[in-house]
Chains A and B, each alone.
Chain A
Amino acid sequence: MSQPNRLDSGGRIDRDRPVHFTFNGARLSGFVGDTLASALLANGVHMVGRSFKYHRPRGIVGSGAEEPNAIFQLDEGAHTVPNPRATQVELYDDLVARSVNCWPTLEHDIGVVNGWFSRLLPAGFYYKTFMWPRSLWMTYERYIRKAAGLGESPMAPDPDRYERRNAHCDVLVVGAGPAGLAAALAAGRGGARVILVDEQNEFGGSLLGSGDSIDGVAAGEWVGRITAELEAMEEVTLLPRTTAFGYHDANFVTLNQRLTHHQPVRARTGCRERTWRVRAAQVVLATGAIERTMVFGNNDRPGVMLASAVSTYINRYAVLPGRQAVVFGNNDAIYRTALDLAAAGADVRAVVDSRRDAGGQWRSAAVERGVPVKAGCVVSRASGGRHVRAAEIYRLGDDGLGEAEDVIQCDLLAVSGGFSPAVHLHAQSGGRPVFDDARLCFVPGTSVQAERSAGAARAVFDLAGCLSDGAAAGAAAAREAGFDAGTVPEFDTAVVAGSPVEAMWLVPDRVAPGRGPKQFVDLQNDTSASDILLAAREGYRSIEHVKRYTALGFGTDQGKTGNINGMAILAGALGQSLADTGTTTFRPNYTPVTFGAIAARDVGPELFDPVRRTAMHDWHVENGAKFEDVGQWKRPWYYPRSGESMRDAVNRECLAVRNRAGILDASTLGKIDIKGPDAAAFLNMIYTNAWNRLGIGRCRYGLMLGEDGMVMDDGVTTRLADDHFYMTTTTGGAARVLGWMEQWLQTEWPHMKVYFTSVTDHWAVMSIAGPESRKVVERVCEGIDFSSAAFPFMSMREGRAAGVPARVFRISFSGELAYEINVPANCAQHVWDAVIRAGSDFDMMPYGTEAMHVLRAEKGFIIVGQDTDGSMTPIDLGMDWIVSTKKDFLGRRSLSRSDCVRTGRKQLVGLKSRDGVTVLPEGAQLVNEPSDATPVPMVGHVTSSYFSAALGHPIALAVVKGGLTRMGGSVHACTLDGRRIECEITSPVFYDPQGERMKQ
């Protein structure tokens, strides 16, 4: 057997299923059931990395989420994972891990010189040294990050699939240790919908690493029994490998479920991670507690481990991390671990208890076992380089250290500084943890949301207490969610009389902190006790400031093992209580969450945002259309024929409309059915012009203003009956306009009798434009007299198009004779095909949005959002003709604001480049005289610009200060490549200024 630290029996590993992996290039093996950390320890690998700042050798400390040191770069290429905690990585075949933060190699690390000069690298060193001069920080930063950085993000696109799922439950139980299992069982038996989550691969929590028995069976067996009962409950969802990482408002908890992380990379299929968004009526937080380290000199040497982690490695993973052990701490956990070590065959050379007269059954059991106990003593320093070699033990004096007691050679130093309940989620829920002076830890405070903590999460540390506390919490939660929980389950387990923890936040040393070996508080950030004391000396008082000054509690572990010690050391330095010092803020996420899990399936062109298509979309595709995104819609942009450039195609489409006929899919326009006796009165308020006297079957163009008097939308509205109108809006503005109208109706004018119904999707619209358009539509439609006398410009007639009931509107956005056929969308392709056939005799062509833009620009028709930008009034657009002076409407009062009536506002004009050939870039800034002294005043910008095939020269629309009074004058358009193009200011109407063509 090549795993020297593996025990022959016991543990929850499968010795029949070996697993091979690579660590820093070395091939090693473990078993199914191992974590990467337990497998490394089984192989005798203690030193796994270098520290962040001083590059000191570091080893595995913990066995769970708290691990500060054993963070690796996992796997390679697109599958690489930066910074997972080896203690939470389930071992799988061909796993490849390497240490981060050491260069060139773990054994020969160049940054170790930082350790030799550590006196010169106090807290705030980087700020003090590199932040001045500020301009050079960008230069320093690159090198500092390289030297101090953790893992590396993958550079390739993420090949994995991540999902999101919403869920609801009556009771969410976080944590499936003894308290969580009992809570879920109590709530589940009461019939509540329960979700039970645990971050580990199997339920049981601390029971997986303990030798306890419950209800007469070993703890592990009991876990299996309870899990099976829960599994059989229809309304219970069990989620192992799932971390509750955020607790938000309204009892909304986010979970990260890892589905394939434990499988060999090549064997992974399906979803890699799933983000659960749980809305729970009640939440039970059974998140357990995290053991604190002890703060003494060289407490970071590999081989110094948390006592509970040592017990877990022995009992759960059958790994004995050391043969000659010293156990040191301030609470009973040290005796449990000493017993576990002894039972596993280790030589427990001393249990060093800082308490002078701790009693209790745990100590008695250890003494009975023959373990030497040194009460009232501390390990003041550890020695050793890449591994702990000895513990220097002192007797505690009245004030600081007393006499030297012993120096004990050891290869394992298990420490326990007491336990901190994992109050993270409680704090995220809005609760404020309070300090418990008796149990020396922060415990959950008053619940702000519908949550309660149970078991070790509220400092109930004994097993019997956890079980009954969990059951009571589960039953209470179910009751409050409306279920009769019935009898609260009871469990039978031994009650052990212990001895209370005593404070030992900073172990005294022979010399002052900072003079002797480093006493680390936060291993991941290399924050030592002396750094915190320095911060206090330099005037820092708030724990939040000290955190940011010393980096205490930052990093991937967020200071899970060290924060409380650091706060206590600060409290001591400031002469105040821990309660007064308080904690830093517990923010999501509890442990790091991948970006993939947060983005889930909101990725890629199809899923990131809806893609809206018209009923004729497939025809456009088949006919070679290039598409343009307009809001969420895909609109045909132009239809290039083989060999045609975009300009060729657009010119051809424009000329088809001007000379013969063209057809445009206009289905994307917003359409709103407006009905009720107050419909006309409502339109009067929402549009600038008057609607009372519009005849039935007649159409009118309308402008809509915001309250600020600025143009927000436009469109043609048709009167279908006295009390019935049909409004069209811009493509992108449809939802906004409907919301705007509902807002005014519901909040300001609830007395108005009018209803709005969106019919955008019901009606498909095809616009047939050009001098031959009448002949085309006549061939397709029945029941409509298309003569100009019977069917004048700006009117609507109902009939049939290709057999389909249709509304035909004679309106024009191109300036040509034009008809818009509206039909129910399920029949749209049928009608479109018929129109295409009818148009073939006239060489009618489909045209896209680009030709439409050119055609309307030739006519000086604006596009809201292109020629306007939220700062344009109708007067600025030269459209005062549409603004009624006889009635009120939204935005009217703003039009008389001093700023709206001043001279020098930007006004819409046409521009022609004087050279007759240059198409101005849209967005180009306009200046009067480029040779003026800089900065040359900008007097406007180009809003639309095209080559007009019909006119044979470029045209542009622009806004120019005082432009309406400068007709015939010049401005210069400035291009990004430095050209200055002289332009003539003209009317924005370039084509058919009398508007005769559309009225033919």
Chain B
Amino acid sequence: MTGTVEKRAVLAAFDDEEQLVDEHAGVALIEHPFQGYLNLRLDPANDVLGGAVANVLGVALPAVPNRTAQGDGVVVYWLGPDEWLLRTPSEDDMTVFGALSGALGDHWHALTDISGGMTHIAVGGEAAAAVLAQGVTIDLHPKVFPAGHCAQTVMARSNVLIAPTGDAGNAFDVFVRRSFADHVLTFLRDAAHDVGYRFSRKAL
């Protein structure tokens, strides 16, 4: 009965759309589907837990608000004083989940797989910041918001997590809950009206 499981990307309804202005896409919108997302909550005052997590991830959980950390095959985003988002390359690879669960054992924590509930839209190009700034109120300037930072904010009335992917101020990762992703992409395409956009999906 079971063959291969055919997955459907969150933004499958928008396959390969583009709307150029003078043959130019001021912004590239790229969905990176099917990554792993783990929500981790634990008591930051418990050094045992912090150490155990650092062992597994190869990097300590960022303690400074709105910072990211790059571990072994995992990117960690600070979400709150006791909450982090872990991003791994594939939702099907439960290695990190298993290792963390093992390391944290019976200590009070919550490690929750939310891979199906998130997607990732990379927003890049010369107009990237100008397009995002139509929807978010935070300062996207690389002096203020350089690589290694992240911020949870509201874009087009949807909760999003934004992280710059360089210091040039022209590339950002946007993470959004599945059910809001259509709306956020609709907003981004509309916001790119005067500069043009190209939407695509990263092949697996």
Interface residues of A (CB under 8 A from B): 161, 163-168, 193, 270-271, 277, 279, 601, 606-607, 609-615, 618, 633, 673, 675-677, 723, 753, 755, 757-764, 779-780, 782, 800, 802-804, 823-830, 834
**Is residue B95 within 8 Å, beta carbon to beta carbon, of the partner chain?**
no
**Is residue B186 within 8 Å, beta carbon to beta carbon, of the partner chain?**
yes
CA distance A673 to B9 in the complex (A): 24
> Which of A163, A610, A633, A782 contacts B2, CB < 8 Å?
A782
B112 adjacent to A161 (CB under 8 Å): no
In the complex, which residues of chain A have a beta carbon less than 8 angstroms from the beta carbon of B2? 782, 800, 802-803
**What are the nearest 4 A-B pairs in CB distance?**
A761-B117, A803-B2, A824-B116, A762-B117
Interface residues of B (CB under 8 A from A): 1-10, 12-13, 33-34, 39, 41, 82, 91, 108-110, 112-118, 130, 133-134, 136-139, 141, 144, 156-158, 177-180, 182-183, 186-187, 190-191, 193-194
> Which of A601, A760, A803 contacts B179, CB < 8 Å?
A760
A612 adjacent to B179 (CB under 8 Å): yes
**With A164-B134, A826-B34 already in contact, 11 other A-B pairs whose C-beta atoms are closer than 8 Å:** A165-B130, A168-B139, A601-B191, A607-B190, A613-B179, A675-B110, A755-B41, A760-B177, A782-B2, A802-B2, A827-B8
The distance from the CB of A745 to the nearest CB of chain B, in whole angstroms, is 12
A761 adjacent to B110 (CB under 8 Å): no
CA distance A761 to B3 in the complex (A): 25
CA distance A675 to B39 in the complex (A): 12
B193 adjacent to A803 (CB under 8 Å): no
In the complex, which residues of chain B have a beta carbon less than 8 angstroms from the beta carbon of A677? 108
B8 adjacent to A757 (CB under 8 Å): no
In the complex, which residues of chain B have a beta carbon less than 8 angstroms from the beta carbon of A826? 7-10, 33-34, 91, 115-116
CA distance A827 to B34 in the complex (A): 10
When C-beta atoms are compared, the residue in chain B nearest to A800 turns out to be B2
> Which of A165, A755, A762, A823 contacts B114, CB < 8 Å?
A762
A803 adjacent to B5 (CB under 8 Å): yes
B180 adjacent to A165 (CB under 8 Å): no
In the complex, which residues of chain B have a beta carbon less than 8 angstroms from the beta carbon of A166? 133-134, 136-138
In the complex, which residues of chain B have a beta carbon less than 8 angstroms from the beta carbon of A633? 179
The distance from the CB of B66 to the nearest CB of chain A, in whole angstroms, is 16
> Which of A279, A618, A762, A802 contacts B116, CB < 8 Å?
A762
B180 adjacent to A612 (CB under 8 Å): yes
Given contacts A168-B141, A607-B186, contact A802 B41 (CB under 8 A): no
In the complex, which residues of chain A have a beta carbon less than 8 angstroms from the beta carbon of B179? 612-614, 633, 760-761
B6 adjacent to A830 (CB under 8 Å): yes
In the complex, which residues of chain B have a beta carbon less than 8 angstroms from the beta carbon of A163? 134, 191, 193-194
A830 adjacent to B5 (CB under 8 Å): yes
Total residue contacts A-B, CB cutoff 8 A: 149
B5 adjacent to A167 (CB under 8 Å): no
In the complex, which residues of chain B have a beta carbon less than 8 angstroms from the beta carbon of A673? 110, 112
> Which of B5, B82, B144 contacts A827, CB < 8 Å?
B5
In the complex, which residues of chain A have a beta carbon less than 8 angstroms from the beta carbon of B110? 673, 675-676, 755, 757
In the complex, which residues of chain B have a beta carbon less than 8 angstroms from the beta carbon of A277? 137
B13 adjacent to A618 (CB under 8 Å): yes
> Which of B7, B114, B134, B139 contacts A759, CB < 8 Å?
B114
In the complex, which residues of chain A have a beta carbon less than 8 angstroms from the beta carbon of B13? 618
6 contacts between A and B (CB under 8 A): A606-B183, A606-B186, A613-B179, A803-B3, A824-B116, A829-B6
The distance from the CB of B122 to the nearest CB of chain A, in whole angstroms, is 18
In the complex, which residues of chain B have a beta carbon less than 8 angstroms from the beta carbon of A829? 6, 8
In the complex, which residues of chain B have a beta carbon less than 8 angstroms from the beta carbon of A753? 108
In the complex, which residues of chain A have a beta carbon less than 8 angstroms from the beta carbon of B190? 601, 606-607
A757 adjacent to B39 (CB under 8 Å): yes
B194 adjacent to A761 (CB under 8 Å): no
> Which of B12, B41, B91, B133 contacts A824, CB < 8 Å?
B91
When C-beta atoms are compared, the residue in chain A nearest to B9 turns out to be A826
The distance from the CB of A616 to the nearest CB of chain B, in whole angstroms, is 9
When C-beta atoms are compared, the residue in chain B nearest to A757 turns out to be B112
> Which of A279, A676, A830 contacts B8, CB < 8 Å?
A830
> Which of A609, A610, A823, A825 contacts B117, CB < 8 Å?
A825
When C-beta atoms are compared, the residue in chain A nearest to B21 turns out to be A270
> Which of A270, A279, A761, A782 contacts B178, CB < 8 Å?
A761
In the complex, which residues of chain B have a beta carbon less than 8 angstroms from the beta carbon of A800? 2
CA distance A165 to B12 in the complex (A): 29
The distance from the CB of A425 to the nearest CB of chain B, in whole angstroms, is 21
In the complex, which residues of chain A have a beta carbon less than 8 angstroms from the beta carbon of B1? 779-780, 782, 802-803, 834
CA distance A844 to B187 in the complex (A): 38
When C-beta atoms are compared, the residue in chain B nearest to A252 turns out to be B137
The distance from the CB of A440 to the nearest CB of chain B, in whole angstroms, is 42
A761 adjacent to B114 (CB under 8 Å): yes
A824 adjacent to B115 (CB under 8 Å): yes
A762 adjacent to B5 (CB under 8 Å): no
CA distance A675 to B4 in the complex (A): 33
In the complex, which residues of chain A have a beta carbon less than 8 angstroms from the beta carbon of B144? 168
In the complex, which residues of chain A have a beta carbon less than 8 angstroms from the beta carbon of B112? 673, 675, 757, 759
When C-beta atoms are compared, the residue in chain B nearest to A723 turns out to be B108
The distance from the CB of A163 to the nearest CB of chain B, in whole angstroms, is 6
When C-beta atoms are compared, the residue in chain B nearest to A676 turns out to be B108
When C-beta atoms are compared, the residue in chain B nearest to A678 turns out to be B108
In the complex, which residues of chain A have a beta carbon less than 8 angstroms from the beta carbon of B186? 606-607
In the complex, which residues of chain B have a beta carbon less than 8 angstroms from the beta carbon of A804? 5
**Which has the most chain B C-beta neighbours within 10 Å: A609, A823, A824?**
A824
B114 adjacent to A757 (CB under 8 Å): yes
When C-beta atoms are compared, the residue in chain A nearest to B43 turns out to be A753
Given contacts A611-B182, A673-B112, contact A618 B12 (CB under 8 A): yes
> Which of B39, B117, B183 contacts A611, CB < 8 Å?
B183
In the complex, which residues of chain A have a beta carbon less than 8 angstroms from the beta carbon of B177? 760-761
In the complex, which residues of chain B have a beta carbon less than 8 angstroms from the beta carbon of A193? 141
CA distance A780 to B1 in the complex (A): 8
**Which has the most chain B C-beta neighbours within 10 Å: A167, A614, A677?**
A167
CA distance A167 to B4 in the complex (A): 48
CA distance A569 to B123 in the complex (A): 60
The distance from the CB of B35 to the nearest CB of chain A, in whole angstroms, is 10
A764 adjacent to B116 (CB under 8 Å): yes
The distance from the CB of A219 to the nearest CB of chain B, in whole angstroms, is 33
CA distance A757 to B114 in the complex (A): 9
In the complex, which residues of chain B have a beta carbon less than 8 angstroms from the beta carbon of A723? 108
CA distance A762 to B3 in the complex (A): 23
In the complex, which residues of chain B have a beta carbon less than 8 angstroms from the beta carbon of A803? 1-5
The distance from the CB of B156 to the nearest CB of chain A, in whole angstroms, is 7
Given contacts A161-B193, A610-B156, contact A762 B182 (CB under 8 A): no
CA distance A677 to B118 in the complex (A): 28
The distance from the CB of B40 to the nearest CB of chain A, in whole angstroms, is 9
When C-beta atoms are compared, the residue in chain B nearest to A832 turns out to be B8
B33 adjacent to A762 (CB under 8 Å): no
The distance from the CB of B15 to the nearest CB of chain A, in whole angstroms, is 12
In the complex, which residues of chain A have a beta carbon less than 8 angstroms from the beta carbon of B137? 166, 277, 279
When C-beta atoms are compared, the residue in chain B nearest to A801 turns out to be B2
The distance from the CB of A726 to the nearest CB of chain B, in whole angstroms, is 10
> Which of A165, A610, A612, A802 contacts B5, CB < 8 Å?
A802
In the complex, which residues of chain B have a beta carbon less than 8 angstroms from the beta carbon of A279? 137, 139
CA distance A271 to B195 in the complex (A): 11
B116 adjacent to A763 (CB under 8 Å): yes
CA distance A318 to B177 in the complex (A): 60
> Which of B113, B157, B182 contacts A613, CB < 8 Å?
B182
B187 adjacent to A607 (CB under 8 Å): yes
CA distance A829 to B194 in the complex (A): 35
In the complex, which residues of chain A have a beta carbon less than 8 angstroms from the beta carbon of B117? 758-763, 825
When C-beta atoms are compared, the residue in chain A nearest to B137 turns out to be A166
In the complex, which residues of chain B have a beta carbon less than 8 angstroms from the beta carbon of A758? 114, 117
Given contacts A163-B134, A763-B116, contact A610 B34 (CB under 8 A): no
The distance from the CB of B150 to the nearest CB of chain A, in whole angstroms, is 17
CA distance A971 to B19 in the complex (A): 61
CA distance A949 to B33 in the complex (A): 44
In the complex, which residues of chain A have a beta carbon less than 8 angstroms from the beta carbon of B7? 826-827, 830
> Which of B33, B91, B118, B191 contacts A761, CB < 8 Å?
B118
